[in-house]
Amino acid sequence: MKQQAAALPLQGASDIWRSRVRSAGVQAAVLLAPFVLYGLFLLANGVNPWTLYVSMIRSTFGDLYGLGEVLLKATPIILTGLAAALPAKAGLVNVGGEGQLAIGALFSTWFAVFYLDQMSAWVGIPLMLLAGALGGAVWAGITAALKVSGRLNETITSLLLNYVAAYTVSFFVHGLLKDPESFNWPFSPEISPALRLPILDGTRLHIGFAVAIAFAAVVWFVLAKTRVGFRIRVLGSNRLAAERAGFNINRTYVAVLLAGGVLAGIAGMIEIAGIEGRLRPETGADYGYLGFLAAMMAWNHPVRLIATGFLLGMISVAGNTLEIGSGLPSSSVHILMGLVLFFILGSRRQKEG
Amino acid sequence: MIADILTGALRSGTSVMLASQGELVSERAGVINLGTEGAMLAGALGGFAVTVWTGNPWLGVLAGGFCGMLIAAIHAFLVLTCGANQLATGLTIMFFAIGLTSFFGREFVSQRIVGFNPVPIPLLSDIPFVGGILFNHDPLTYLSIALVPCLWYALFRKRLGVILRAAGEREEVLFASGINPKLVRYLAVLAGGCLAGVGGVQLSVAFTHSWVENMTQGRGVVAVALVIFASWKPARAMLGAYLFGAAQALQLTVQQMGWPISTFFLFMVPYLLTLAALLVVERRKQSVTPEALGKVLAGDTGG
């Protein structure tokens, strides 16, 4: 990057334009190559990749319902993606979105079932959202506290805490939060219908998608246009410079981790109020990791994240199609995601210098 | 009851122990590999599959080690050749391996194998209390116990160990003495993946005698955490792994005794214990972190 910057002023405008086109070409190739490889993998396992990709696109853009399904999947992915991208801008690798989402879902269900049952939508839904945000923040707060006062690496602690969060949710839905009428199935009672998010006719799509987009815009604005955002970016790109400039590094770390937790917790609340209506042990499973991947794919850029979240949403929906249509397990979609990320990770160096 | 827990600590801790020794080798050379989880899964499936096909668990061990090495090779290539972020790459490998193993593992889910079984050591296993705990295990467990002092000797008393540790501390020194540090790191990561794979084999072929989707349940992640907890010392990593194993064994004991403790709390204990152990140790050390690794953990990855 340094060398490039020094060389650029000497080049003519057409050269700059050409190098931009080339880097766009490289980026496109990086995004396409894994799909080709995965296609070969499918071919080797007796599935025609072309029909799969076509049906993937057709089911997404063919009708309103299909598009709604993809957007439904994209919503929590975008939010947990923001939960990874915002700390990443400050140089942290937060993989705790998974656990933060789960605890956010737990808190919001708890409040919805025990305190907000009689409330109208106008009061209840915002309160439930706050509860979810609180849950995510509490869980992220553990990682942040361990990072700042215990000097523990946030990647490892947030990853370990994901397992703890999953067992915490299981504990509650098997015990204190279990539906008394569930005949021993582990799930919570259903939340009051007034607390469900409004739904778009003809789909299952709810208002949560708009919320996710709005948060992506907010995060973009904060990062790009405010002083706080500038400090976060400085810290992420050069910790030493931030130290020398007298920024309070620990406070920034705590702030971005907590903000990430809030976003992931809201994703959990949206899953409950938008789709599920009750908490199950596997509510929102994998979305945290998918969000992390989406953030990686978007180079942690909040607006690009909307696109990558959409893409991953498409792939997840396709995973279901794959399972129904060709008998491949839906987990094989993980392979595609892994391939996509390998190419992105491997190509990044050329981009950064 | 205590004997049960201690025996269980060895039985269920060995897979984590092997993986953590492998991770230790790789981290000493300056590469942290969260893909250990993936290498364990690949090893568990590869070892199980070959044991099903051939009926010979030792071939399974070879295959599992090889599968683990293949997974680690992806990490080594992306991190060392392409300069990718180590933590993110490791995580990606974890997902990739979960997908890959659950795809190829479908047909093995309900298979049954003979695998490795406990082989009591004559005489020694007759010692009351201690004999049952230490000398009544599967062959892989014995081997893994023997591995720890060997690894310590190689790391701290042999030229090989000096080269390995120099790669993690000061690669300029290696350059100066005509050794390619990148090659050393490659080999260290591959060796680490191999050991993690063998750890996976211990899990599927010796401990549970079955293959289940995503059966490692974060053991690889715990192994990585344990290495940090152990201040990069083989014996301490072994201790930590057995502590994890003991926490797992405690679940069974509590269930058998019918104590009124929620099983979900018990499931959490190993992870919480790992976190607590990390916290205690991290407070009083920093200088022992291999220098190249310190940069990765602090987030100063320049590539």
Which of the two residues, B200 and A336, has the higher pLDDT score? B200
Hey, how many other C-beta atoms are within 10 angstroms of the C-beta on A92? 25
Residue A272 lies in a domain: yes
Of B34, B91, B98, which is closest to A334 when you measure between CB atoms? B98
B122: region left, alpha or beta (phi > 0 left; psi from -120 to 50 alpha): beta
Spatial distance between the Cα atoms of B138 and B114, rounded to a whole number of angstroms: 12
In sequence order, what are the beta bridge partners of A199?
Answer: A206
Contact call for B103 and A329, based on CB within 8 A:
yes
Q: DSSP 3-state assignment of A49?
A: helix
**Interface touch A342/B78, C-beta < 8 Å:** yes
Q: What is the mean pLDDT of chain B?
A: 87
Distance, in angstroms, between A62 CA and closest chain B CA? 28
Nearest to A157 among B78, B92, B275 (CB): B275
The region, left, alpha or beta by phi > 0 then psi within -120 to 50, assigned to residue A158 is alpha
CA distance B161 to chain A (A): 26
Q: What is the pLDDT of residues A298-324, one digit of tens each?
A: 888 999 999 989 988 888 887 777 666
Concatenating the DSSP letter of every residue in A126-152 gives: HHHHHHHHHHHHHHHHHHHHHHHHH--
Integer Cα distance of A314 and A59 in angstroms: 9
What confidence tier does B299 reach under pLDDT thresholds 50, 70, 90?
Answer: low
- From residue B283, how far is each of A241, B227, B241 by CA, in Å? 26, 15, 20
Average pLDDT, chain A: 85
B17-40 pLDDT, tens per residue?
A: 999 999 999 999 999 998 999 999
In a domain, A212, yes or no: yes
Contact call for B84 and A348, based on CB within 8 A: yes
B76 CB-near residues (< 8 Å, 6+ apart): B31, B185, B186, B189, B190
Global pTM reads: 0.85
**Which domains are present in chain B?**
2-298 (1.10.3470)
Cα–Cα distance, B200 to B29 (Å, whole number): 22
Residue A243: domain span: 76-310
Contacts of B91 in chain A (CB under 8 A): 95, 155, 159, 289, 292
A230 pLDDT band, cuts 50/70/90, is very high
Task: Give the mean pLDDT of A13-27.
Answer: 72
Please determine, for residue A256, whether its predicted confidence score (pLDDT) is greater than 50.
Answer: yes
Which among B83, B272, B300 is the nearest to A239, CB-wise?
B300
Residue range B218-239: average pLDDT?
A: 88
Among A178-182, B238-242, B298-302, the range scoring the smallest mean pLDDT is: B298-302
**Nearest C-alpha neighbor of B275 from the set A170, A169, A154, A289:** A154
| C-alpha to C-alpha distance for A212 and A146, rounded to whole angstroms | 28
CB contact under 8 A, A342 and B96: yes
Question: Cα(A81)–Cα(A103) distance, rounded to whole angstroms?
Answer: 16
B248-266 burial, b for 16+ CB within 10 Å, e for fewer? bbbbebbeeeeeeeeebeb
Measure CB to CB from residue B279 to each of A150, A167, A353 and give the nearest one.
A150
Band (pLDDT 50/70/90 cuts) for residue A348 is low
Taking CA–CA distances from A353, the nearest residue in chain B reads: B303
Interface contact A160-B275, CB threshold 8 A: yes
Say how far apart CA B280 and CA A294 lie, in whole Å.
34
Nearest to A152 among B222, B224, B282 (CB): B282
Is B278's CB within 8 Å of A338's CB? no
Domain tally, chain A? 1
Position A66 in a domain? no
When pLDDT is averaged across residues A52-76 and rounded to a whole number, the result is 85
A329 contacts in chain B (CB < 8 Å): 102-103, 106
pLDDT greater than 60 at residue B287: no
Sequence-separated (6 or more) residues with CB below 8 Å from residue A245: A234
Count of CB contacts below 8 A, A vs B?
143
- Test B103 with A341 for CB contact under 8 angstroms: no
Q: What is the pLDDT of residue A13?
A: 61
pLDDT at A7 > cutoff 60: no
**Which residues of chain B have a CB within 8 Å of the CB of A160?**
218, 221-222, 225, 271, 274-275
Inter-chain CB proximity A338 and B92 less than 8 Å = yes
> Most B CBs within 10 Å: which of A1, A143, A156, A323, as the mutation test of the B interface?
A156
Q: Which of A319-328, B67-76, B107-116 has the highest mean pLDDT?
A: B67-76
Mean pLDDT, rounded, for B171-198: 92
Listed residue (A296, A338, A266) closest to A103, CA to CA: A266
Q: Is A335–B217 a contact, with Cβ atoms under 8 angstroms apart?
A: no
Q: Between vectors from CA B196 to CA B195 and to CA B197, what angle results, nearest 5°? A: 90
A289: which chain B residues are within 8 Å (Cβ-Cβ)? Answer: 91, 95
List of chain A residues whose C-beta atoms are within 8 Å of the C-beta of residue B89: 345
Query: CA A191, CA A72: separation in Å to the nearest integer?
Result: 19
Q: Which of A238, A266, A236, A267 is closest to A253 using CA atoms?
A: A236
- Give mean pLDDT, residues A325-348: 78
Alpha helix positions (H), chain A: 2-7, 13-44, 49-61, 64-89, 97-114, 121-150, 154-174, 208-225, 227-237, 239-244, 249-270, 287-297, 302-326, 332-352
Residue A134's pLDDT is 97
CB contact under 8 Å between B271 and A91, yes or no, is no
Residues in A touching B268 (Cβ below 8 Å)? 163-164, 167-168
Domain membership flag for residue A17: no
Instruction: Give, in order, the Cα–Cα distances in Å from B76 to each of B86, B220, B297.
Output: 9, 17, 17
Tell me, yes or no, whether A71 lies in a domain. no
Question: Which residues from chain A sit within 8 angstroms of residue B74, using beta carbons?
Answer: 342
Q: Kindly determine whether residue B278 and residue A157, on different chains, have CB atoms separated by under 8 Å.
A: yes
| Chain A residues inside the 8 Å CB shell of B217 | 163
